[in-house]
Amino acid sequence: MTRRAAVALACGLLSAALGADAASDAARAELSRERRLLAGDTARLSVVSRRLDTALSDLAAAARAAADAAARSDAPDDVQRREDAVSAAEQEVRSLLERRRTLADKIVDRRRRIELLDAESRSAPVESVLTGRWSVLIQPGDQRGIFRLNLQGTIVSGEYRLEGGFDGSVRGTLINDRLKLERVDSKNGFDAIFYGRVSPDAQQIVGTWESTTFGTGQPGSGSWSAARLEEKEESP
């Protein structure tokens, strides 16, 4: 091997090592973030579970009081008041059950992501399956635009531009073929989460999205798709 070839090989190996280190560092940063979010979700689950215990006790007490009022032949207004209390207690229990279920689902999802990120942080190769420009269609509304994405390891970053003058950045992760992107609008801030599955040939993405802002009069969720653009293709 000539000296020039040896130098070129050494540079190539160093570049690959630096890329792998950068991807590994990014994976570790995302892992740390997910662990902090998991701790917060776990604490909220504990609080909601305690409130649910109290609400169930309140419901049982309200139901007994309503039954006792009916058995004593209390005045109709008193019986109705007791029944209203039962209805209010039932509503509180339903609300807390839904919140607890949502938190439990998030915790399971985070634990799975942490397991994968933990493995990725120890050996995080630089991937190119997502890196590039994507033509995006968001429903409802047939809103079109461009996502420019960059993938290192499992960490996704990039920017976007949508019809209507919307632009900003995206951040997220790609675990196997499962994509999660948080959209941060230049004017509205963190306003949506996109979930998707990348096709085996890395040419298509299909998924759903949900808004993180409410009371705007706009749809709160929907579907989206993306098709890879060649660098020579113009934006739609």
Could you tell me if 202 and 228 are in contact, meaning their C-beta atoms sit under 8 angstroms apart?
Answer: yes
Task: Please name the residues in contact with 11: beta carbons below 8 A apart, sequence gap of 6 or more.
Answer: none
> What pLDDT does 6 receive?
41
> What pLDDT does 127 receive?
52
Could you tell me if 62 and 85 are in contact, meaning their C-beta atoms sit under 8 angstroms apart?
Answer: yes
> What pLDDT does 198 receive?
92
CB atoms within 10 A of CB 160: 22
> What pLDDT does 217 receive?
61
Q: List the one residue out of 234, 167, 170 whose CA is nearest residue 205.
A: 170
> What pLDDT does 18 receive?
40
Output the tens digit of pLDDT for each of the chain's 236 residues.
Answer: 444 444 343 344 334 444 445 556 676 788 888 889 999 999 999 999 999 999 999 999 999 998 998 888 889 988 899 999 999 999 999 999 999 999 999 899 889 888 888 776 654 444 567 899 999 999 998 999 999 999 988 899 999 999 988 999 999 999 888 999 999 999 888 989 999 999 888 899 999 999 887 656 677 789 999 999 986 554 44
Q: List the one residue out of 191, 143, 149, 192 whose CA is nearest residue 174.
A: 149
Q: Backbone phi, then psi, for 232, in 5-degree steps?
A: -80, -15
> What pLDDT does 93 receive?
94
Packing angle, helices 76-122 and 3-71, rounded to 10: 170
